[in-house]
A and B are shown apart, each in its own frame.
Chain A
């Protein structure tokens, strides 16, 4: 028994939750102690989100009870949770983009007198908090103008602006670069010192091993075990989580990487765009996996957007198969057989309210229609069915709403829609963000398979192990410039991080 003693701030016992016939939770239990980071580990669909939503008062459990700080705790809405001293920072951003950082952080708790908001006090209070947390933002900035990573940090600050006994962080680092994650880890350290209990949800194993004190594994809605961090290895945890052994995190290459003497399918030379990036040059061969690494704000995603025609370059050239091209819209990019799995699948990748089938066929629709634009529904359905089988997308049917699937399966749908266009060049921007370990491995296998079939893959990622584990070479960017193109012998985490932070020697 890893957790003992009476010093328990939050205890869940015998909890279950049913949605109709679906049992999302069965026999769930949890003991969280103050001043410790307690990680909940499980694949997507294991019941973590349901559990968190119950703690937040969004759902009510079917059976079971919660004791918070010695008192029975049965919140019926998020305000109850906040009053009881429990704060949740959700994975999905819940900020108002049209308002300032200060207004967001102190939303619904604005300092006011007689119903009028005291703007000066608002800014002052928020600024104190931001300074205390060491966030790289100004409280008078509009949230809409911030990067996704900065927004995530603001979201966290918002959650911490309440004096909480228990703080739940749901995938807080999913859109943070390593240096930004570092800021968060420091914040967590300070909270621990204050005796706050932290419930932490993440898919990143390195991070979990570094931060956690206790780790609870859940699988299929059931409690599996709770271990002290010092008693367990990553391999053991993964095995507990997926219920099977998983020796390899990154599937090995079956086919050798293409020789550097081969003609590149894509050659980018001196590409620049305003203040976003400048003089970016690289090339990629068919079948090559070219990693792109850089901290948030290094300009990686902006380069990809420009290659895809969503933004226009101010200088530089792009050549495909040796011929210079000008791509000014996604339509042209797709005509040249470029595919783009963007970093925000919910915003730019999927029509969440539509079926799996209609999402998969979205880009390749021309192939499923006759001369007068009539859809060939059977052919469309067969193609979607084939992709669902090939990528092992777990869905009840082709008519299931895409938004109801787990993150990993949603990401596979986005992959499927591009695979139907048989791309020559496939851009993958953070393809495994918010995806559980099992689905991650499957996505890696798909990437390997595509490369083996001759697709040139541009793999943008904030996860250093992923970039190193998957790529043949790595383009490292820092502040809008390419600081290195690392060959395999240079691909150590330390070297790449040096280039990424601009301290290359």
Chain B
């Protein structure tokens, strides 16, 4: 009996927190199922998950940054840099593991630069990452003078094309990173400190939280997540494109905000962000299947984001 009531309390808690956004996801699925018979299938859902993987992982990183009341607009560029670093590693004859480590480290380094400029030089993160968005994007073209670079390394391209126990590897990667970020945010001291600092930086400072260090680490997490997204993207494309990941930061922000992350800081969860990313994925996939022209897709996506966030804000205000 008490187990049952505990379970139902937990369910209520989840519905209270994610009810609005979860409902939006279901409604979208229903709409697309009705309009297109092929939408509701396991194969298509795996397809959606695969398509959304790059955005979802970048959005996990973005959630940390927004939670802190900051923003990171450079992740689209970091996605492209990561692909190019990988391609160059192979061009220099490196093997898979060191190339992967170096690629991810590159993402961490670019995030570190964002973090140091924000935390230590006291520049607003919006300005910092607008600037580094351009700088990093430019850096992608340095090794090849603007040309794309092919990646033929089989282990690298396997990430985007192969499956493990019947499920595409990219989905495994998303699952592992979701768990990692979710646990780090909700179960650890580090996550708690991020919440507290995002909620009130001054109070965090007076409470002995090293807010500058925390901020730098979080920009590094964002950079690393973007780099992993870049690995997935380049492995699917068999190449590093100089315009890869262009404007992905906006989708990542949309996913986080759809998931209930507050741009004011201090509020947000990885579960919410995952649902937010799925909404974007379902929208893209459903409209593609209906052959909706690209420009209509942009309009619809924008409207859905506005409506979903409005509903969420309204339901939260009603609770207060």
Contact = CB atoms under 8 A, between A and B. Distances in A.
A417 B204 CA distance: 12
Interface residues of B, number: 21
Contact of A363 (B187, B208, B267): B208
A23 interface: no
Nearest to B262: A353
Given A369-B188, A375-B187, A375-B188, A330 B205 contact: yes
A350 B202 CA distance: 9
Interface string A194-220: 000000000000000000000000000
A349 B210 contact: no
A162 interface: no
Contact of B266 (A342, A348, A354, A363): A354
Interface string B204-223: 11111110000000000000
Given A350-B200, A351-B204, A331 B210 contact: yes
A334 interface: yes
B248 interface: no
B90 to A, nearest CB: 35
A310 B206 contact: yes
Interface in B263-281: 266-267
Contacts, number: 71
Contacts of B205: 310, 330, 348
Given A310-B205, A348-B205, A353-B267, 11 more contacts: A330-B205, A330-B206, A331-B208, A342-B206, A348-B206, A349-B203, A350-B200, A351-B266, A363-B207, A365-B189, A365-B193
Contacts of A224: none
B72 to A, nearest CB: 22
A6 interface: no
Interface in B123-165: none
A340 B206 CA distance: 8
A369 B207 CA distance: 16
A190 to B, nearest CB: 37
B203 A330 contact: no
A491 B193 CA distance: 44
A310 B267 CA distance: 27
A148 to B, nearest CB: 14
B238 interface: no
B203 A350 contact: yes
Contacts of B192: 358, 365, 375
A148 B59 CA distance: 40
A354 B196 contact: yes
A362 interface: yes
Contacts of B189: 365-366, 368-369, 373-375
B208 A347 contact: no
Nearest to A330: B208
Given A354-B266, A365-B192, A373-B189, A348 B203 contact: yes
A352 interface: yes
B190 interface: yes
A494 B5 CA distance: 64
Contact of A354 (B188, B199, B202, B210): B199
A347 B195 contact: no
Interface of B: 187-190, 192-193, 195-196, 199-200, 202-210, 266-267
B188 A374 contact: yes
A374 B203 contact: no
18 contacts: A310-B206, A330-B206, A331-B208, A333-B208, A342-B206, A347-B203, A348-B203, A349-B203, A350-B200, A351-B195, A351-B196, A351-B200, A351-B204, A351-B266, A353-B266, A358-B196, A365-B193, A375-B188
A347 B187 CA distance: 26
**Per DSSP, are chain B's interface residues mostly helix, strand or loop, or mixed?**
helix
Contacts of B195: 351, 354, 358
A331 B206 CA distance: 8
B208 A334 contact: yes
Interface in A325-372: 330-331, 333-334, 340, 342, 347-354, 358, 362-363, 365-366, 368-369, 372
A362 B207 contact: yes
Nearest to B202: A348
Contacts of A347: 200, 202-203
A465 to B, nearest CB: 28
Q: Interface centre among B187, B189, B207, B266, by most A CB within 10 Å?
A: B207
B149 to A, nearest CB: 39
Contacts of B203: 347-351, 362
Nearest to B264: A353
Given A352-B200, A354-B196, A374 B187 contact: yes
List 5 A-B pairs, minimum CB-CB distance, nearest first: A351-B199, A334-B208, A369-B189, A351-B200, A373-B189
Nearest to A333: B208
A255 to B, nearest CB: 30
Contacts of A352: 199-200
Contacts of A340: 206
A372 B267 CA distance: 24
A181 B177 CA distance: 58
B255 to A, nearest CB: 22
B36 to A, nearest CB: 42
Contacts of A366: 189
Nearest to B206: A348
Nearest to B190: A373
A363 B209 CA distance: 8
Nearest to B184: A373
Contacts of B210: 331
A60 to B, nearest CB: 17
A62 B158 CA distance: 67
A358 B209 CA distance: 14
B76 to A, nearest CB: 30
B38 to A, nearest CB: 44
A358 B204 CA distance: 12
B272 to A, nearest CB: 16
Contacts of B202: 347-348
A348 B199 CA distance: 11
Contacts of A365: 189, 192-193
Contacts of A342: 206
B62 to A, nearest CB: 20
Nearest to A340: B206
A199 B207 CA distance: 38
A350 B266 CA distance: 12
Given A354-B266, A373-B190, A375-B188, A330 B207 contact: yes
Contacts of A358: 192, 195-196
A372 B192 CA distance: 14
A333 B209 CA distance: 12
Contacts of A362: 196, 203-204, 207, 209
Q: Interface centre among A333, A342, A358, A373, by most B CB within 10 Å?
A: A373
Nearest to A414: B203
Q: Interface centre among B187, B200, B204, by most A CB within 10 Å?
A: B200
Q: Interface centre among B195, B208, B209, by most A CB within 10 Å?
A: B208
A331 B214 CA distance: 13
A361 to B, nearest CB: 8
A342 B225 CA distance: 38
Contacts of A417: 207
B300 to A, nearest CB: 33
Nearest to A421: B208
Interface string A80-109: 000000000000000000000000000000
